[in-house]
Amino acid sequence: MKALNEQALRAFDTLLCVCKNVSLDINIKLSLFDKLVSPILLYCSEIWGIYNYKGVDKLHIRFCKMVLGVRKQTMNYAVL
């Protein structure tokens, strides 16, 4: 799990750099997250099940807040 989280964070950081340097539509940014970062996070999720999903949600919320341009203190349910 730790190795997957580290790989996902590297992919996440790369995606953040791309999103900051290139102006893309929000839908495209979210689609890129779903195609580049989510598969890494969810690798073998059918084995570890529903109990270790907090890291996945945390990274997804962080990306959504960045894409929307809201503060880190914004409530998660408002972002979703």
DSSP labels for 34-80? HHHTHHHHTTTHHHHTTTT-HHHHHHHHHHHHHHHT--TTS-HHHH-
Contact 72, 65 (CB under 8 A): yes
Chain centre distance of CA 24: 16
Q: Please give the angle made by the CA atoms of 42, 70 and 8, to the nearest 5 degrees.
A: 20
CA distance 49 to 11: 22
Q: What is the pLDDT along the chain (80 residues), one digit of tens a residue?
A: 677 778 888 888 888 888 888 888 888 888 988 888 888 877 776 666 656 667 677 888 888 898 888 999 999 999 88
